[in-house]
Structures are given as structure tokens and as C-alpha cells.
Amino acid sequence: MTVRPLTVVIFDDFQILDAAGPIAAFEIASRFVTDGYDLKVVAPGAGWVKSSSGAAMLAQELDDRPLDTLLVAGGDGTRPGRLDPRVVALVAAAAARASRIVSICSGAFILAEAGLLNGRRATTHWNRTADFRRRFPLVQLQPDRIYVRDGPVWTSAGITAGIDLALALIAEDLGEIVARATAQHLVAPRQRPGGQSQFSGLVEMGGATGRFAELLNGARQRLTDRLGVEDLAHACAMSPRNFARAFVRDVGMTPAKAIEHLRVQAARDQLEAGASVEQAAMAAGFGDAERLRRAMLRSFGQPPQALRRTARAQA
């Protein structure tokens, strides 16, 4: 029997679900096969490591065993953790002999601090994308993805997205049948449709600082208007170029993507209230049903007809 060594790195004030969610998925997957995972939790020092919730997890020190997968948890502790030379050195040492490197949520900050994401595509929790872009300009951040794979490096969005990523790793290692059986046991979807924007509060908050909250609230009230970059910039008394840069830096997505997000949410509300696809498209400012269909496929992975059928079935 061959097992797959998998090491999970934690640190003070890590998010416990970032570690426990994937660990549970790997544990359950191992029940279905003889070549599952040999799980170990490590930290800069052996012993109990307190999570941000106050619950603790018992960790070992990194040993010299062969390492198939390195997984780095995220959480509030990544802020001091990425500046802690013990944490960064631990991750760098483990990554040097790992076949695959994984981060959950804001664990991407630690991978980036160790130089493991330079030039690569990656994602992290939607609430920290603006900060991530500022600190790590060499990383090709994709903020609307549930998880991103770039060669041997995998990164996931926030918290429960770590389970999505774990199921994808299980599918790669042990096959789709085992991944689906694991998801069923977890009572979790094998693969969620759409990206992070469907869960994101960035648009509602107007960005990390709230600078664009009034602008976006106003846009929400007039979605049938043009709402191009020039129009939005004019409303903020900014040049289109400066506005676009400031908006992406603060909100974590382009102005066009934010307006599409507002329109998709408005169209979904219309569909759930019983409107036809054509009526929802017009009310939300898409102009025609085909543009709405494409936008909903990007955001939710489903066409508007499917969302309308679901709403009617639940009525």
C-alpha cells in the first residue's frame, strides 16, 4: 500500500476551517482507497497552536519524510505570520521538497512572501484582494476564482473554498469517483458553479475603504443607464484612467465587472420574483436575454432559465 504524504502548515491565529475542512476531505477520501493520504499537521514549534477562534490544533515539527503535498492554512494569523521568519522558513523548506504546493484562503500571502507565487496565477479571499495586489505585484491575481491551479501550485479563495480545492486534488490523485463519493459524504457540492463574486461583499461595501459605496449604490438604482467607465469617472470627478486604477485597487475588480455583478444580482432578484428572462434582462440593464445569459453563466455557471426554474420550484 502506497500513501500520499500531505503536510498542513498552521501558525498562531490560523483559521481553523482552512485546515480542518481540507483535512476532513482527505481523511474521508482515504476511506475509499488503499493509497490515500498520510496527514500531518506542522508548525514552527511542536505543540498546541491556537486558532483565531480560540480552539487549538496539535502540531508537530517538520520532519524529513518525503512530501507529496504541502498545504498552508490562512486566517488572521497570516498578517503577522508572513512577517515571521520561522513561518516563512518552514513553508519554504517544505515547499522545496514538495511535489505540489497549496494555500487556502489568505495562506496565499505566506506563499507569496516566500516567493512561491511570483509570475504565477493565484487567488485568495475576496476581502483581501486589494491588499494582496498592493503587496505582491508580481503575482497574477485572479480574484473571482474559487481556486486556481498554476502548474504544481494551487491556491483557493476564502475558507470553505478550501474544501472545493481539496476535492479537486482528490479527483486528480484518486479519480473523480472518489472525489464525488467524498463530496457526498461531506454533504458538499463536488464543484460549485461561478466564482467568488457571487459571495463577495466588496461591491456592497464599495471596496476596502468604502470610497465607492455611494457611487455603486447610485448605480444600483439606475442599472438601465449606460454606466460606462467614463460615466462613472465623471460622477467621481476623476479622469477615466485614474478612476479605473483607483477602483480596481480599492474594490478588487474592474468597474465593468462590478456593474455586471450589480446587474446580475438585480436580474436574479427579478427572476426569483417571477419575471421572464426577457423582462429581467431589460430591468437589469442588459438590453437583451442573450447578454444576460452570458453574464449569468460567468457569475453562476447557470443560465437564467435554470435559476428561474429553481425559484419556481421553491415557491
Question: Domain with 268 in it: what CATH number?
Answer: 1.10.10.60
pLDDT at res. 145: 80
pLDDT at res. 313: 60
pLDDT at res. 305: 86
CA-to-CA distance for 23 and 37, rounded, in angstroms? 10
> Within this chain, do residues 132 and 273 fall inside the same structural domain, yes or no?
no
CA-to-CA distance for 31 and 35, rounded, in angstroms? 9
pLDDT at res. 216: 87
Query: What's the number of domains the chain is made of?
Result: 2
pLDDT-flagged residues of the chain (< 50): 198, 205
Domain extent at residue 104 = 4-192
Secondary element (H or E) of residue 31 = none
pLDDT at res. 91: 97
The CATH number assigned to the domain holding 62 equals 3.40.50.880
CA-to-CA distance for 194 and 185, rounded, in angstroms? 23
pTM as predicted: 0.67
Tell me which residues are annotated as active site.
105
> Within this chain, do residues 162 and 242 fall inside the same structural domain, yes or no?
no
CA-to-CA distance for 112 and 91, rounded, in angstroms? 11
> Within this chain, do residues 204 and 120 fall inside the same structural domain, yes or no?
no
pLDDT at res. 208: 52
Last residue of a domain, one of 164, 192, 220: 192
DSSP string, 21-82: HHHHHHHHHHTT-SS-EEEEEE-SSSEEEEBTTS-EEEEB---SS-EEEEEE--STTHHHHT
Last residue of a domain, one of 172, 192, 212: 192
Last residue of a domain, one of 140, 158, 192: 192
> Within this chain, do residues 187 and 268 fall inside the same structural domain, yes or no?
no
pLDDT at res. 250: 79
- Of 64, 176, 74, 188, give the one whose Cα is nearest residue 132: 74
State the maximum Cα–Cα separation within the chain, in Å, rounded to a whole number.
67
Task: Specify burial of residue 54 (Cβ count, 10 A radius: 0-12, 13-18, 19+).
Answer: exposed
